[in-house]
Structure 1
Amino acid sequence: MRRLLLPFCILILLVHLTPVGAQAQSDETITFDEAVTIALDQNTDLQRAINDVQRQDATIRQRQFDFGPNLNLSTSTTRQFGRSFSQEEGAIVNQTTDIFRVNANSSITVFDGFNNIASLREANRQGEASELNLERTRQDVVFTVMEQYIALSQSKQEVEVRRGEVEFQEQQLEQIQEFVDAGARPTSDLFQAEADLAQAEQQLLQAQREVEVNNTRLIQTLQLDPFGTYTFEAPDVDPAALEMREYAISEMLDNAFDRRVDLRAQEANVRASEAGVRIAQSNYWPSLSVNMGYGSNWSSTVGALPGNTDPSFFDVLDSRRGGNIGFSLSFPIFDRLQRRTQTAQARANVREAEYALQDRRQTVALQVRQAILDYRNAQKQLEAAESRLESARRLRNAAQERYNLGSASIVELSQATRDFTDAASAKVQAEFDVAFQQKRIAYQMGTLSPDAPLAE
């Protein structure tokens, strides 16, 4: 009895010591607006874009301070021993001397061939580009969340369609069972009905799996705790969003060229590259700077001072203080063609940035045109799906009546049922595809607002 009691007590103790979160995790419900907020706070791509903006801000501040002077304060202590020339005695002496020095130095660049002006302009353009890229990244993150929410909603609607199919097949199986028991139908019809029910259950399981896959994708996008349990509440598709809208491609392209922040960011990169050319050309100019200094020193060999036979440490520093001011002018004459090489490289960078801008414009135009064409196709697919569903519904009802009257086979009824289920699934996909393609147009146009992504 004791052998059985000891393991039981240990098990009870372990259960009580197990953290509550490990025993049962609460199901956290996340709405679409909450998901967008979480993504904008935690998405790593967005955090990297924010970090880039902060780095560019630091560079801009550094370029601004390049216009001002620098200031250095230095101090040193030295002990000299052995023979040295004593200025006080005017002879070579053998002694040990302690020396203390303190100096302040400052310099300012008066002219450097406009290098500091061009450097500040380059930093400002790069900072502008990083801020615009940050805004586009925000749009990317919100659009990704929206896309995954739409996919999740679609998969949930697919589950409802498949669940309805299972319920219908169960009712159909019960009815056929009654027909078989009454001898009105052969046993093979019962086998076919059982096979149809099994197929419907399998398709339901696949639809439920797709829901879990979409849940996992959202957890990854939002950087949520993978050990948590979450329920994502997606907004319903607005019926107004399914209405046909006309888009003029030429007008949409002009608007996209004006609104796409990534295109404006590339334009800022071109201007930054042009400033890089002026930075390289500044090496052809002379440079002028002003240097100033002020300091003092103390020596242990200092004797009496005029009017002071026993000077203190600060009296000696005061008596030896002094300063200097100077100008430094430099003319570049020959630098082994480094200036020419740097200027050529800077101009090549400008051309590369212009090529990238041209490619970006072509990409934007293609994305907008493709989004409009996909939207039009989605609208046509929705119209076809609605007609197909209505026809499939009438066909299934007719096949059911004919089967009940004994004028149709189980194969015809099964085929009509599958056609209706496929039509219902196609309509669900078409509805969500229209809603998605409409938002995709806003995204490709650059008008998708991260603060109100569902707004028109």
Structure 2
Amino acid sequence: MRLAVFAALVLAAPLQAQDSTAVTLADAVRIAVDESPEVRRGEAIGRGESAAVRAARAGRLPTLDLQVAPQQRYGLGFDQTTGEVVSQTVETMSVGVGASLPLYDGGRTRSLVREAELRRQSSEVGLQRTRQQVALDVAQQFLTLLLDREIAGIEAENLDAAQSQLERVSELVEAGARPRGDLFAQEAVVAQRRTALVVAQGAVERDEVILIQLVGLDPLGAYRFVGPDLERLEASGLLDAPLAPLVELIEAARETRADRRSQELAIQAAEASVGSARAAGRPSVTLSANAGTGYSSLQQQVVGEPPVIPVTLADGSPILLGGQPLTFPGDPTLETTPVFSQFSDNRSGSLGLVLTVPIFDRYQTRRAVVEAQIQAETARIQLDALDRQVAAEVQQAVVEARTARAQLDAAEAQVRAAEEALRVEGDRYRLGAGTLYDVAEAQTRLAEAQSQRAQAAYGLAFRRVLVRLAVGDTDPAELAALISE
């Protein structure tokens, strides 16, 4: 009866329209993990760490530079033709290609590559923990929604029972077997149950709004959150699964927790940074090569044959030497050498090794080593603190799970006792030996016991999931399946 009434109420709700989208716990976890700002921020950091790895590995590659330097100078210069100092404009251009290849850098590149790879791995492992935490938050809110639905169903059943009781009281009052005051009292009970149902339905709608925001769904969309009810949750075996001993759980957490593994990788990365800092004080060897050419507007070349000037006497007759006229060469005709000819003629190149030995760097290397060592020690201290936190989280999760199990057992016993008490009070009232107040009190106690039982059941389910998360052996998909199966 309760499930039928509650199903009718649920189907009548606006957010449960037929054209709404069904969202299971697995869907909610998947969407939340994909759309979570924390996860997306972690993914962006991971892409940055991957880029840092590529940049560190590129330290082993040669560098290649192309240099083009056009220049125009203005000023005074000596003209060798006239022997005068004249104002002139000189245009030059140099073109060169240079390459260098590090042969040995004291192990600095190797340390930088290792550090970058470890930081990337640490970021990836840490992202796994972020996904788990996002999934846990969604699962907790999803279970809260299922719990409030269960409570709303309980209130719907109580309202139905109160209305049925009102009909029976009305019949007894009309027959003169009970005073009319009982009718008014039962009408007040019905009104109270109706108010409790409205409050419970409001809690369900509030939970849906929170879950939509937490998952990252469109707030204007219509959704039906589909999950296991209390009977399916109990039938799944999740509530009755045995817990491993606390010592084994803590040891397993230290082996499987993603955040602890991430911190271990961060320690190794910090230790690698110590090596790269020390390498800065070691000698380095670099192979360098250069090739280039150039152009200058001052560079000139002779055009054609130079003129021949004959040597003559005062009267103009030639002076003979060996029977041939005596001559001497005149000034040649010059012009600026063409650009491409200069580029071809002025080629040059070099190849060599450069050995750099640090002698004194104003204690910069020592300071960098000390800072790196401090960072490594800080990372180790953080790991010690994380170990204490892991042990505390596992222990707390186990204690809360055991407490929730005890609360569920007590709540089930309370429900059985309340059901029996309501049956007895109902029989006494029908026989005229009891009062309507006693029946109403028994109904109230039963409603409270049923609500506490539902809270204890869903609380135990969440605590069992929390134990798995504290140990660190649950990924988001498994977490959703753990509750939904």
TM-score normalised per structure 2: 0.83
User: Cα distance, 1:333 vs. partner?
Assistant: 3.3
Could you tell me which residue of structure 2 aligns to residue 254 of structure 1? 251
Alignment of 1:259-408 (within 5 A): 259-304=256-301, 312-408=338-434
Alpha-carbon offset, residue 62 of structure 1: 0.3
Q: Deviations over 1:303-335 (max 9, x none)?
A: 238999996432220111112234443333333
> Which residue of 2 is the match for residue 221 of structure 1?
214
Query: Which shifted more, 407-416 or 32-41?
Result: 32-41
- Structure 2, gaps ≥5 residues long: 1-16, 305-333
| Contact kept in structure 1, 2:298 and 2:336, CA below 8 Å | no
Cα distance change, pair 370–380 in 1 and its aligned pair in 2 (3 A): same
Equivalence for 1:9: none
Alignment pair present for 1:441 and 2:441? no
Gaps of 5+ in 1: 1-23
Question: In 1, Cα distance between the equivalents of 2:303 and 2:88?
Answer: 24
Give the secondary structure class of the aligned counterpart of 1:389.
Answer: helix
- On the 8 A contact 1:403/1:409 being kept in 2, the answer is yes
Could you say which residue in structure 2 is the equivalent of 1:18?
none
- State the alpha-carbon separation in 2 of the partners of residues 385 and 105 from structure 1: 82
Asked if 2 retains the 8 angstrom alpha-carbon contact of 1:256 and 1:446, the reply is: yes
2:26 aligns with 33
Provide closer, same or farther for how the CA distance between residues 87 and 384 of structure 1 changes in structure 2, counting only shifts above 3 A: farther
Q: 1:118, 1:278 within 8 Å by CA — same for their partners in 2?
A: yes
For 1:294 and 1:102, how far apart are their aligned partners in 2?
9
What secondary structure is seen at the aligned counterpart in 2 of 1:304?
strand
State whether residues 401 and 460 of structure 2, in contact with CA within 8 Å, keep that contact through their aligned partners in structure 1: yes
Task: Give the AA of the match of 2:240.
Answer: E
Please show how residues 86-101 of structure 1 align to structure 2 within 5 Å: 94-101=87-94
Name 1:44's counterpart in structure 2. 37
Q: In structure 2, which of residues 153, 159, 164 is the aligned counterpart of residue 160 of structure 1?
A: 153
Query: What is the RMSD computed on CA atoms of the aligned residues?
Result: 2.6
Contact 1:247 1:372 in 2 (8 A): no
What does the per-residue CA deviation read over 1:112-169, in whole Å, with 9 as the maximum and x for residues that have no partner? 3322111111111111100001111121222222222211111111110011111111
Aligned match for 2:113, one of 109, 116, 120: 120
> Sequence identity, in percent?
30
Moved more, 409-418 or 295-304: 295-304
State the AA in 2 paired with 1:280. A
Deviates more, 1:216-225 or 1:158-167: 216-225
Q: Which structure's CA Rg is the greater one?
A: 2
Asked if the contact 1:277/1:347 (under 8 Å) is kept, the reply is yes
Is the contact between residue 29 and residue 480 of structure 2 (CA under 8 Å) also seen in structure 1?
no
Pairs within 5 Å for 1:421-432: 421-432=447-458
Instruction: Compute the displacement of 1:100 (Å).
Output: 2.1
TM-score for both structures, normalised by structure 1: 0.88
**Aligned-partner Cα distance in 2 for 1:92–1:163:** 111
1:299–1:91 CA distance, 2 compared to 1 (3 A): farther
Asked if the contact 1:30/1:232 (under 8 Å) is kept, the reply is yes
For residue 20 of structure 2, what is the amino acid of its counterpart? D
Q: Work out whether 1:198 is the aligned partner of 2:191.
A: yes
Residue 444 of structure 2 is aligned to residue 418 of structure 1 = yes
Structure 1 residues 330, 174: closer, same or farther in 2, change over 3 A? Answer: same
Which of these residues, 158, 174, 180, is aligned with residue 173 of structure 2? 180
The C-alpha deviation readout for 1:406-427, integer Å capped at 9, x for no partner, is 1112221111111111111112
Could you tell me how far 1:377 is from its partner in structure 2?
1.6
Q: 1:238 to 1:72 in 2, by over 3 A?
A: farther
How many residue pairs match? The answer is: 433
